[in-house]
Amino acid sequence: MTRTHRIAVIAGDGIGQEVVPEGVRALEAAAEAYGFELRTTEFDYASADYYLKHGTMLPDGWFEQLSAYDAIFFGAVGWPEVVPDHVSLWGSLIQFRRHFDQYVNLRPVKLLEGMKSPLAGRSPGDVDFYVVRENTEGEYSSIGGKMFEGTDRETVIQETVMTRTGVDRVLTYAFELAQRRPRRHLTSATKSNGISITMPYWDERVEEMGRRYPEVDVDKFHIDILAANFVLHPDWFDVVVGSNLFGDILSDLGPACTGTIGIAPSANINPERRFPSLFEPVHGSAPDIAGRGIANPVGQIWSAALMLEHLGEREAAAGIQRAFEKVLAGSPREVLTPDLGGDGSTQSLGKAVADGILAGA
């Protein structure tokens, strides 16, 4: 029996329309090279065009429709000239993350050969870690309110929510990941000196969980010095886990330390697989370069590798990773996109990676 994976493909706006086909090209090459079947279905919603036609970002039945897929392969959403960003984002991506309980946000941070790090003196191999962000609770809660608006007593409150279920499940994911990595090292982001109720609780759960994973070496830093250490000592990290807010900041800072935003991938994961997980590049729709065929497709292609890993296609995921790393490290100018210093196109780079996947299997 061939393994079959059903993928919902949503390109969205702007360069999403350009990089998603290159991601699909890589997936198809991997399917051919590693012997599995891919069934993709494209959806036109979660885009400004759809909004203009229908007045909403998503159709009524989106939840049932997308629930039938093994994963969602997503481009980017947002076209601020047409739809305000909070409407497009809350009307689509955030609905997916919440309703599909994608409580892990995972971002690899890896300095690749051929990429220029903004950190002086760092070379490939020095930076290779994961940021695991809690994606559903914590500081991003809707508990709170506003009182005495417009008066001197104007008061605003927003509460942080941490539940044992919510904290333990993201920690479990992070510990399991650390356990599988050669260095078996987990770093927790905290701020228990200043935030004196929720953060000591977070620390307590990390300690408790650490006892269940005796092979994993655990340390913790307050978020302020941790941010500094991402820049000063990126080689110290292997798996870094944080609450929603801390993870949000670290998961942008990490990839920023490794070069262009055009190559950074991310995964929004429901580890129990009750719902489909969603894989997308870190970047947005890039209206400034959209329609010109020069967007870097590697963030989308790397997201495809994360998706295959999640679907149990380890070898194919590694094959995609090897292929784009090799292409980034050693391709002529005419293959590479302008953000990499080349004068090639989205398609020339995407095609080079797909050829590499087929050749490397």
Q: Which does 286 bind (CB under 5 to 8 A by kind): ligand NAI, Mg ion, none?
A: ligand NAI
**C-beta of 145: minimal distance to ligand NAI in Å?**
27
94, 161, 261, 358: residue in contact with ligand NAI (rule CB under 6 A): 261
Residues 6+ apart with CB under 8 A from 116: 259
Under the binding rule (CB under 6 A), the answer on residue 85 touching ligand NAI is: yes
∠279-281-286 over CA atoms, to 5°?
A: 140
Picked from Mg ion, ligand NAI, none, the partner binding residue 284 (CB below 5 to 8 A depending on kind) is: ligand NAI
3-state class (DSSP) for residue 71: strand
Q: What does the block give as tokens for 200?
A: 């000591």
Q: Which is nearer to Mg ion, 18 or 248 (CB)?
A: 248
**Considering all CA atoms of the chain, what is the largest pairwise distance in Å, rounded to the nearest integer?**
70
- Among 40, 56, 63, 80, contact with ligand NAI (rule: CB under 6 A): 80
Is residue 285 part of the contact set for ligand NAI (CB under 6 A)? yes
Q: Supply the minimum distance, in Å, between the C-beta of residue 251 and Mg ion.
A: 6
**Minimum distance of ligand NAI from residue 1's CB (angstroms):** 35
In the numeric block, which tokens belong to residue 90? 């809350």
Looking from the CA of 2 toward its CB, the CA atoms found within 13 Å total 11
The answer to the question of residue 78 lying near ligand NAI (CB under 6 A) is: yes
What token pair was written down for 16?
């999403």
**By the rule CB under 6 A, 284 interacts with ligand NAI:** yes
Nearest distance in Å: CB 297, ligand NAI: 7
What is the side-by-side order of every strand in the sheet holding 277-281?
A: 36-43, 3-12, 71-76, 277-281, 265-269, 104-110, 128-134, 239-242, 185-190, 217-222
* Residue span 321-360 as binding mask against ligand NAI, x where in contact by CB under 6 A, dash where not: ------------------x---------------------
The residue among 15 and 38 lying less far from Mg ion, judged by its C-beta, is: 15
Coil, helix or strand at residue 284:
coil
Helical segments of 71-163, H only = 85-90, 93-99
Among 197-205, 279-287, 310-318, 349-357, which window interacts with ligand NAI (CB under 6 A)?
Answer: 279-287
Site residues for Mg ion per CB under 5 A: 248, 252
- Residue 169 binds to ligand NAI (criterion: CB under 6 A): no
User: CA angle at residue 34 from 29 to 39, to 5 degrees?
Assistant: 60
Minimal distance, residue 277 CB to ligand NAI, in Å: 15
Report the catalytic residues: 140, 191, 224, 248, 252
Residue 283 interacts, among ligand NAI, Mg ion, none and using kind-specific CB cut-offs from 5 to 8 Å, with ligand NAI
Residue 31's nearest CA partner among 3, 54, 12, 9 is: 3
Q: Does 204 bind ligand NAI (CB under 6 A)?
A: no
CA distance 56 to 52: 8
Asked whether the beta carbons of 310 and 71 are under 8 A apart, the reply is yes
| Position 77 contacts ligand NAI (CB under 6 A) | yes
Residues that bind ligand NAI (CB under 6 A): 15, 19, 76-78, 80, 85, 89, 93, 261-262, 280, 283-289, 295-296, 299, 339
